[in-house]
Structure 1
Amino acid sequence: MAINEQENHNRGGNHEVTPLIYAALDASSSGIIITDNRLPDNPIIYSNKAFEKITGYEANEIIGHNCRFLQADERRQEAREIIREAVDKGMHVTVEIRNYRKNGDLFWNELSISPLRNEKGEVTHFIGVQNDITARKNAEEKLSFERQRMEKVILERTENLRNNEEYLNSIIQTIRESLVVLDPNLNVLTVNQSFLRTFKVTKSDTIGKLLFDLGNRQWDIEGLRTMLETVLPTSNPVLDFEVEHDFPYIGKKNMLLNAHRVELEGDYKDRILLAIEDITERRAIEKRKDDFLSIASHELKTPLTAVKGYIQLIKRFVPKDNSRLIDVVQKSDTQIERLNKLIVELLDVSKIQSGKLDIHRGEFDFDKMVKDTIEHIQFSNDECNIVLEGTTGVMYEGDESHLSQVVGNLISNAIKYSPGNNQINVYLSSLMNRIKFSVRDYGFGISIEDQKKVFDRFYRVGEIREKIAGMGIGLYICEQIIKQHDGNLWVDSELGKGSIFSFTLPLK
């Protein structure tokens, strides 16, 4: 069976067969994927429309990933081990597994996996067929819940708690953030003391009035109105909705809004809870920090360039028989290069934050760029062997310099964070209309919780921070560069078992 048009062409097959197969697969109501077992980590190379609909992901977010990304944080499910064993043995298997859609919703997936073999009997691909059985699972859970007859007790306790006005008011008043309780018509029912202090008003100025009329219509803010009148009626909570507004009496405020529609019985039916966090000072501090980084980086660049020139000049006059002096000069040159790299990264962060990171696109040989970058790194890291496997065979149109920076950073990190290991692996492959780069190390590994933050600016994993120096900006820059190329960068890791950093880039 042909897997893609390129393979069909290489085998001299009928060029009309593959489109018909894909059309048939797309017509299926079951989600269908095809993975390439010949490539590292068995990545997905095809997904049909039903798979995209079930998971909420688009094709460009699916291709290149291993199927396990759908399990999010739940990596210890028994079904995963069953799947892993079946893949290792090239066997058919059907399991029920907990998956998560792109928006974070859980769904139960009935997954059937079947191997495809070539003429030699080798497993080249796997076909996965999935069906959403969430409704059935929910029904089973509901029956079990009803048999235990706990629902009545829980509802009674919840109702008593919600109907306790004194308890609710004490919570509202205790919260340090500004909190407003609104009725369905957006009239203010109550506010806490933090709101009164922050916005310098009294209860008589607020209670019973339309939110947008407060303070001579100071609260008639376009962003706030959009949130309450457009987003919130969908019954979905609104989280971290940022609004900036210049109030006539208290000045400009940056506010982070969280809103929940709460539907209760009795006296508290259909309330809207609006939490307002004043982040004005935080944003000011962040801006001052970014300004400082930009200024400091530029100011350091000039004297460093001069020092680097002096070192190069000194190298010319160092006697060849003075090995100690040669070693001192070489170490100085290495440290200057390290400092120069750090300053370049700080400048990149500054450019990214100000939206001024320039991407200069041009056509270049992607495989050659990777090989040249590896050779440069290998030259100064002879204790660790960098093994390159696979090719893309692609002339890619993008910013070669910045992409080389990403490749170099990921490989250097793999060496840096796996001390004592004498090898890392780099993989290149072409997947449908994307190219994929991966680097695997056998070092510390990263926990699930830290993986969510590892691409944040200045974030460093606690345990690693204590062992290895760094600023936590390299991965942030890498992610931003890949995003500028409409690509995806991610990490797959387990503590104590190393990490695999991968990115995919779309082809025109």
Structure 2
Amino acid sequence: MSSDFKNNPLNDPLSNNIYLQALNSAKSGIIITDNRQQDNPIIYCNRAFEEISGYSHNEIIGHNCRFLQSQDRGQEERQIIKKAIKEGEECKVEIRNYRKNGSLFWNELIISPVKDDEDNVTHFIGVQNDITLRKKAENELREEKSSVEKKILERTKELQENHAFLSSIIETVRESLLVLDVDYRVLSANSHFLTSFKVTQEETVGKILFELGNHQWDIMLLKQLLTKILPTNNPVIDFEVEHDFPYIGKKIMLLNAYRIEFEGQYKDRILLAIEDITEKKEIDRRKDDFLSIASHELKTPLTTIKGFTQLLERMIPEGSSEKFITTLQKVSLNVDRLNNLISELLDTSKIQSGNIEIHKEPFKIDKIIHEAVDNLALASPSHNISVNSDTNATILGDELQITQVLNNLVSNAIKYSPGSSQIDVYCNRVGNFIRISVTDYGMGISQQDQKKIFERFFRVRDIQKKFPGMGIGLYICQEIIQNHEGTLWVESEIGNGSTFNFTLPIQKI
């Protein structure tokens, strides 16, 4: 395997193109990881793997394969995989994985090592097949133990109980709910829906969803999303509809739709939840307007204060007391801190309004990493910040914004690891991307908080009590990286520190 992998596809462009076409034509998901790099990252995936997992190519490259198990990390098969990778051996397992939308699928995974001429493992090739249907069939066969008559009686009873249970939920939930059949005809509507939209049962039940009211739900994209629910179990998540509704006027509605299933029943039913978010949107708009106005209004006097502070620092009289000098330094420090907070608020306002500007120019990523770390190391002499970055990669992007991301991640690593002085910054190539990792050995972040940490104004409760901040730095970082066609994610455990990673596409020459 080593000579084929080394001599044919990598060195012969024509052969390489044929190999890539062959891999992309395969029905099985195929990935290649680089065992020579830290954490054995994925450097290649074919189209079938993207379809199986639901992730795009850019969201996959740079990750370790374990991200497919999400939080389901207690499986014995993970230890089998870990042992095979450590010993450079082939292995085959059946493991539970999760798609991007959170749905479970069973994966038949075959891992094979690739070795060089010196018998060192350089890469691993993973071949993946979705065996969910087979697993489901096996499970259904195991359940077929009772007699047919007993099954019919039990299923009939379950159907009646589930129907009653579903009906009670629909009526008591304080949210507009509709149950649709396979043809998107309304089977039931709860009282909250009828009250909210000021309609009757006769006007709603038995009607096609897209024909209700003044055809407010007759939206092509919504139709396309709903058609995928029953055959693929892909839900509709947070679909916004802004419309001038009959009887209630102009509103913004948030739609979520799921396939209903109670122990194998109601497989051809869709539950549609409709939430009126008009007021919430208006509150968010006012809040964003306030942040924008307040930030701009504060910026002008703060600039003046900063100028006078700098003037005072240059005009300190000889023989001034230590207390006077120290006080002036504290004033300057807090003015800088306030200036940074206002700058973040302005960035947030620009992002929300869509006015953030990106000035893309080619730059060497290694250079700005070293410069950013050097500047932060001077300001934090108590921390040892190590850098491993020698990619010689050129990035097409906004150098100032990428520097802002680096400064934020390294500053956070310093800030949230008071009991540890070591920070590691690592940059390497992964396929057509570079991946930058910032690792601290501090308090760590819980799995629950990791889901929200990139949201605007979110702060971990325990951290909020100990460290000042507004919770917008990581939100800005994520927006910047997404605007540069990269991804930003975190890996962390409570008490064992955190690693923030992000990828950027390498400029094609």
Matching residue of 2:155:
155
Q: Say if 1:198 and 1:94 are closer, same or farther in 2 by CA, change over 3 A.
A: closer
Moved more, 368-377 or 87-96: 87-96
Matching residue of 2:336:
337
Query: Within the alignment, does 1:232 sit opposite 2:243 as a pair?
Result: no
Task: Give runs of aligned pairs for residues 306-345 of structure 1, distance below 5 A.
Answer: 306-319=304-317, 322-345=321-344
- 2: CA distance, partners of 1:444 / 1:148: 53
- 2: CA distance, partners of 1:176 / 1:394: 54
- 2: CA distance, partners of 1:89 / 1:370: 34
Deviation at 1:41, TM superposition (A): 1.3
Moved more, 411-420 or 123-132: 123-132
Moved more, 87-96 or 367-376: 87-96
- 2: CA distance, partners of 1:269 / 1:480: 38
AA aligned opposite 1:426: V
AA aligned opposite 1:159: L
Counterpart contact for 1:145–1:151, Cα < 8 Å: no
Moved more, 467-476 or 107-116: 107-116
Deviation at 1:139, TM superposition (A): 3.2
Task: Give runs of aligned pairs for residues 33-48 of structure 1, distance below 5 A.
Answer: 33-48=31-46
- 2: CA distance, partners of 1:291 / 1:127: 51
Query: Within the alignment, does 1:220 sit opposite 2:218 as a pair?
Result: no
Query: Within the alignment, does 1:282 sit opposite 2:280 as a pair?
Result: yes
Moved more, 235-244 or 150-159: 150-159
- 1: CA distance, partners of 2:82 / 2:161: 47
Cα displacement string for residues 277-321 of structure 1 (whole angstroms, at most 9, x for unaligned residues)? 111111111111111111111111111111111110111122465
Task: Give runs of aligned pairs for residues 168-207 of structure 1, distance below 5 A.
Answer: 169-181=167-179, 191-201=189-199
- 2: CA distance, partners of 1:8 / 1:61: 25
Cα displacement string for residues 410-440 of structure 1 (whole angstroms, at most 9, x for unaligned residues)? 1111111111111111111122211111111
- 1: CA distance, partners of 2:318 / 2:86: 57
Counterpart contact for 1:109–1:131, Cα < 8 Å: yes
Deviation at 1:258, TM superposition (A): 3.1
AA aligned opposite 1:339: L
Counterpart contact for 2:211–2:218, Cα < 8 Å: no
Deviation at 1:29, TM superposition (A): 4.5
Q: Say if 1:449 and 1:153 are closer, same or farther in 2 by CA, change over 3 A.
A: farther
Moved more, 412-421 or 42-51: 42-51
AA aligned opposite 2:226: L
Matching residue of 1:463:
462
- 2: CA distance, partners of 1:135 / 1:76: 23
Matching residue of 2:377:
378
Gaps of 5+ in 1: none
Q: Say if 1:3 and 1:18 are closer, same or farther in 2 by CA, change over 3 A.
A: farther
Query: Within the alignment, does 1:79 sit opposite 2:89 as a pair?
Result: no
Matching residue of 1:139:
137
Cα displacement string for residues 78-97 of structure 1 (whole angstroms, at most 9, x for unaligned residues)? 22223223333334333322
AA aligned opposite 1:363: P
Q: Secondary structure at the match of 1:57?
A: coil
Q: Secondary structure at the match of 1:466?
A: helix
Counterpart contact for 1:4–1:18, Cα < 8 Å: no
Counterpart contact for 1:391–1:430, Cα < 8 Å: no
Q: How many aligned positions are there? A: 496
Q: Secondary structure at the match of 2:280?
A: helix
Q: Say if 1:494 and 1:7 are closer, same or farther in 2 by CA, change over 3 A.
A: farther
Counterpart contact for 1:224–1:243, Cα < 8 Å: no
Task: Give runs of aligned pairs for residues 483-494 of structure 1, distance below 5 A.
Answer: 483-494=482-493
Q: Say if 1:230 and 1:117 are closer, same or farther in 2 by CA, change over 3 A.
A: closer
Matching residue of 1:501:
500
- 2: CA distance, partners of 1:27 / 1:209: 44
TM-score, structure 1 as length reference: 0.87
- 1: CA distance, partners of 2:445 / 2:151: 40
Q: Secondary structure at the match of 2:420?
A: coil
Matching residue of 1:440:
439
Deviation at 1:8, TM superposition (A): 8.9
- 2: CA distance, partners of 1:183 / 1:76: 38
Counterpart contact for 1:2–1:8, Cα < 8 Å: no
Q: Say if 1:126 and 1:201 are closer, same or farther in 2 by CA, change over 3 A.
A: closer
- 2: CA distance, partners of 1:378 / 1:115: 40
Matching residue of 1:301:
299
Counterpart contact for 1:318–1:325, Cα < 8 Å: no
Q: Say if 1:411 and 1:288 are closer, same or farther in 2 by CA, change over 3 A.
A: same
Deviation at 1:347, TM superposition (A): 0.5
Query: Within the alignment, does 1:429 sit opposite 2:436 as a pair?
Result: no
Deviation at 1:75, TM superposition (A): 1.9
Q: Say if 1:6 and 1:64 are closer, same or farther in 2 by CA, change over 3 A.
A: farther
- 1: CA distance, partners of 2:193 / 2:410: 50
Matching residue of 2:386:
387
Counterpart contact for 2:115–2:121, Cα < 8 Å: yes
Matching residue of 2:253:
255
Deviation at 1:492, TM superposition (A): 1.4
- 2: CA distance, partners of 1:19 / 1:189: 53
Matching residue of 2:30:
32
Give me the identity figure in percent.
54
Moved more, 235-244 or 404-413: 235-244
Deviation at 1:256, TM superposition (A): 1.5
- 2: CA distance, partners of 1:206 / 1:131: 44
Counterpart contact for 1:188–1:208, Cα < 8 Å: yes
- 2: CA distance, partners of 1:347 / 1:5: 51
> Cα RMSD (Å) of the superposition?
3.3
Deviation at 1:188, TM superposition (A): 5.8
AA aligned opposite 1:77: Q
Q: Say if 1:432 and 1:151 are closer, same or farther in 2 by CA, change over 3 A.
A: farther
Cα displacement string for residues 52-74 of structure 1 (whole angstroms, at most 9, x for unaligned residues)? 34333333222211111111121
Q: Secondary structure at the match of 1:455?
A: coil
